[in-house]
A and B are shown apart, each in its own frame.
Chain A
Amino acid sequence: MTERSLPDNLQKHDSNIPSDGAAGPGAEDMLLVDGARKGDISAFNTIVERYQSHVLNLSARIVGDRHMAEDIAQETFISAHRALGGFRGGSLRAWLLRIASNLSYDHLRSSKRRPADSLDESMEHPGFAVPTEGPGPEEQAERKDLNAYIQKAILSLPPDQRTVLVMIYVQGLSYEETAESTGASLGTVKSRLSRARSRVREVLLQHRELLPDQFRQVH
């Protein structure tokens, strides 16, 4: 398995993630957690395979630095293995993302670097992003600029709003799962999300030329 083929595998794993509330919130996850608690490292690595994309993406969107995000992802799984005893059920994904977001905050505090640039560079590399189908080179270039600008808008948010926004709109977590992951109430999640979305919209509107025609027509 080459590294280039990893995204496809991840897509397959992501599609297998049990949806919370369907066949029990991660009944399969709990089996893996139990196995990992008993010392089965392969069970734990199955968890890693399943959620590493989520962890990496959340960290990368929060800190805006791919390399830092990779370090955070590795730390997340090491910390998770040590803290498996403290996992009391619920959404394993929310629990892992909570660890990841906490570690991301720690890295943000300790880092003085401007985070956006590194992520932009990493996004330019053809192998870094999951390839999208359809658009031609021009459109792809435009979309890349827009994505970079959206990322910049995300990084303009306070960390707590940033986390909620990324979890819900980029990672696809539910409001409830986000509340569980962040340790905030549902009302707090809604409030943070509302402010974050308004703020991102304001930032995006400062460069209307990057926005799709449809967006510009609204304003």
Chain B
Amino acid sequence: MLRLLKTNKHEKLRELLSSYSDGQVSKDEKAIVEAHLATCSACTAELASLKMTVGLLKGLPQIATLRSFKLEAAPKAVKVSRVPQLMLGLATAGAAAVFMVLVVGDATNAIVQRGELEEAAAAAGAFASDMASKSPAEDGLQGGPGNPGEPNSFEAATIQSPEMAAASPSQLRSSAAAPEAPPEPSPTESGMDIASISPAAPEGTPMPPSFAASAPVDDKTLDSTDPLPASAAQTTGAPDSTAASEAMTGASAAQPAAGSGFAPESPTASGAGVSTELPLTTAAEDTAVTGPTEAQPPVSTGRQAPGDELAGAQPALEDGSGLGLPLRQLQIAVGLALIALMGATAYMFMAGRRRNF
């Protein structure tokens, strides 16, 4: 340790030798160096060689000026256009703004994508038409011991009686879009799964905000099934941060919920009524109902085997709805563009400074 300290001190003093030989040290530094030189022959020799090196450098001949560099006339002023700099600055600012919107929107779930609204509207429409056309007996056959009188809440159908969820209206569009969906686990199994991931589960409820805003859900149902009121969901976005973050990677916040909800073991599938019942509908029916024909991304998730839910979630997210690009990829693309623009701006700024000296 003592040797190390001595070595460090020696190195520091060697650094001082250059300035010392030029007389560019303070009084204290000078005293320290001279005290060290009195005891260190190596540093003394080094100082001598450094001084000789300086002597050789100072002995270099001046290079003769063989021509004059006088100006015959004042050189024309070069007007550097500010337009490229301005455009670059604006582009950088724009990219930064877009990036901030994407990031902040992602963090706060403020971004509501087109697919969510369409899905919710379609769900509501399908539900209404189905209710108008279905008889209570038919419901009973399909849904089992559910309550046919209160099917107007997807959450209620899912939570209160999982078997009823199989007959809930949301399955109409799911089955219509995916008539060949492979059979799901039995309604009982699904019901157990749903129960395990129901809002009572500790993961909370990833109810899609758009659905909460537009679906015809009565207050009673919300109170009994969803711990987050529809108004709260609408204003604060999806309450489940896990599901929300998953959702941001895709086109719709509702889709990942549906996809993950289909996976019984998935911790992110915390039982939102809509998200969990969509796969169930495909499990229960297939050919029974002909509902609205728009293709629903969750259906593709529902077609997958139970072991593929997680892997299948991403394709569902990337399905054409929403912004057309997964949000995460959009963030990365805009972020990279922002970095490139900032680099170009910095380079232009430095070049301008060097021009102005």
Contact = CB atoms under 8 A, between A and B. Distances in A.
Interface of A: 3, 6-7, 10, 39, 41, 44-45, 48-49, 52-53, 55-57, 60-61, 66, 69-70, 73-74, 76-83, 86-87, 95, 98-99, 102, 122-123, 127-130, 132, 143, 146-147, 150-151, 154, 165, 168-170, 175, 190-191, 193-194, 197-198, 200-201, 204-205, 211-212, 214-215, 218-219
B78 interface: yes
A78 B71 contact: yes
Contact of A81 (B18, B24, B74): B74
Contact of B78 (A80, A82, A154, A211): A82
Contacts of A56: 63, 65, 69
Tell me what chain A mostly uses at the interface: helix, strand, loop, or mixed: helix
Given A6-B65, A79-B357, A129-B64, A150 B56 contact: yes
B75 A102 contact: no
Interface string B17-33: 11100101000000000
Contact of B69 (A73, A95, A99, A201): A73
A147 B60 contact: yes
Interface residues of B, number: 39
B253 to A, nearest CB: 51
B357 to A, nearest CB: 5
Interface string B44-64: 010011101110111111111
A195 to B, nearest CB: 8
Contacts of B57: 150, 154, 165, 169-170, 200
B39 interface: no
B73 interface: yes
Contact of B70 (A7, A45, A82, A198): A45
B66 A83 contact: no
Contacts of B18: 190, 193-194, 197-198
B127 to A, nearest CB: 69
Contact of B71 (A45, A193, A200): A45
Contacts of A70: 66-67, 69
A99 to B, nearest CB: 5
A151 B61 CA distance: 11
B354 interface: yes
B68 interface: yes
Interface of B: 15, 17-19, 22, 24, 45, 48-50, 52-54, 56-75, 77-78, 354-357
A39 B24 CA distance: 41
A215 B67 contact: no
A6 B68 contact: yes
Contacts of B71: 41, 44-45, 48, 77-78, 81
A193 to B, nearest CB: 6
Contacts of B357: 79-80, 83, 86-87, 95, 98-99, 102
A57 B52 CA distance: 22
A175 B24 contact: yes
B96 to A, nearest CB: 29
Given A86-B357, A194-B19, A170 B73 contact: no
A10 B15 contact: no
A190 B56 contact: no
Given A132-B61, A168-B22, 10 more contacts: A41-B72, A45-B71, A52-B69, A66-B63, A147-B60, A150-B57, A170-B58, A197-B54, A204-B53, A218-B48
Contacts of B74: 39, 41, 44, 81
Contact of B60 (A7, A41, A150, A198): A150
B22 to A, nearest CB: 8
A102 B351 CA distance: 11
Contacts of B67: 3, 6, 70
B58 A74 contact: no
A87 to B, nearest CB: 8
Nearest to B21: A197
A122 B63 CA distance: 9
Given A81-B74, A151-B60, A190-B19, A218 B52 contact: yes
Given A48-B69, A193-B18, A215 B63 contact: no
Contact of B52 (A39, A129, A215): A215
A127 B52 contact: no
A198 B50 contact: yes
A3 B53 CA distance: 33
Nearest to A215: B52
Contacts of B19: 190, 193-194
A70 B63 CA distance: 11
Contacts of A194: 15, 17-19
Contacts of A95: 357
Contact of A53 (B49, B56, B62): B62
A201 B66 contact: no
Nearest to A83: B357
A53 B67 CA distance: 10
